[in-house]
Amino acid sequence: MLQYQYQGSDAQLDSWGRLVEIRQQLRDGVRTVLSYVHDLIATGQLDTLVQGRVWTTRNRIDQFWLPGTAEIFCRTVGGGLWAGVFPRG
């Protein structure tokens, strides 16, 4: 189960037509679920409330989220970004 809190402006809100277009792009494989999640978090906060195969932790979803990963942590090392990912299971 997910919770999404929109934080963009009224001008950024998707119209019904845009939602239909996104749904078709997902069905056709033109857009990935990962790209859609990234679009969502660009204008709001997406949190997992219940864990599952795809949403494996109860945390805020950020730009480093990957489906089916249990933990992702990031830190800067020598001016660069370092990330660790632990697969579920």
| Domain around 31 | 2-87
Task: Report the alpha-carbon distance of residue 65 to residue 59 in Å, rounded.
Answer: 10
Compute the distance between CA of residue 6 and CA of residue 13 in angstroms, rounded to an integer: 9
d(CA 6, CA 39): 11
With H, G, I as helix, E, B as strand and everything else as coil, classify residue 24: helix
Predicted pLDDT of residue 28: 93
89 residues of the chain, pLDDT tens digit each: 788 888 877 776 766 677 788 889 989 999 998 888 888 888 889 888 887 777 777 788 888 887 776 555 555 566 655 555 444 44
Domain count, the chain: 1
- Report the pLDDT value the prediction gives residue 82, as an integer from 0 to 100: 52
Question: Which residue spans within 40-89 are E strands per DSSP?
Answer: 44-48, 60-61, 69-77, 80-87
Question: What span, in angstroms and rounded, lies between the C-alpha atoms of 56 and 27?
Answer: 24
